[in-house]
Amino acid sequence: MEPRCWPDGAPDRCALSTERLPPLSKGMALWRPGDDYTGSYLVRSGALKIVAVDVAGDEQVLHFALPGDLIGLEAMAPGRHDSLAVTLEESVLCRVRWPRNGAASDPPMQLLLRASRNLHQRFGSGRHAEPLAATRAFVRAIAQQIGREERRGAARVIRLQLPMSRLEIGQYLGYTEETVCRALRRLHQLGELDVKGRIVRMPAAEAADACAEQSTSAAAR
């Protein structure tokens, strides 16, 4: 997929079109609240945060988008974005467009629009959990997406560099920056994580167990 947005190009019978965007530097807005929906985006590299901003200017992070994620679909049904999407580091994205004409009689488009409405309703729902457990689960989830295995002596560990700050993690989990810092320190003291700045390492078995837990949970749902 390196030179393209789609693995083998969109088939002739497929109405969607893809467009690779120029790289976006850190801190650039992909869309802002009130912007018209012009397509969804596949994240090829880098990272973004999707943020809700209230009337007082306070931010709540709704989602961290990492390579392989599809973002922006929640704005398809209403036709405009309610959130702010900002790059956390230099990022490359591909815009994916679906034609809206004929949606009422096109089952695939009906399915996309229903998914868009569901996402739009779910975005902004708060996350509530005990801080240590929530931080542990968050780091494990990020490790599954962008972590890389390495060896430290005879041990296998997963190494990742967090693209987001402690403050942004707190805005996502619903805690203060200080609470996230304390939780990471505690996980470090317990030996579950090796935390040095934004570099985090964990035993490979920890990440594998987390993946198995998520698969079991998904199957149950």
* CB-count exposure of residue 175 (10 Å: 0-12, 13-18, 19+): buried
- pLDDT bin (cut points 50, 70, 90) of residue 200 is very high
Q: For 41-82, what is each residue's pLDDT tens digit?
A: 999 999 999 998 877 778 889 999 999 888 998 898 889 999
Assigned superfamily of 17-122: Jelly Rolls (2.60.120.10)
Q: Are 18 and 96 in contact (CB under 8 A)?
A: yes
Q: For 145-168, what is each residue's pLDDT tens digit?
A: 899 998 877 788 999 999 999 999
Domain ranges of the chain: 17-122, 131-220
State the CATH architecture for 131-220. Answer: Orthogonal Bundle (1.10)
Look up the pTM and report it: 0.75
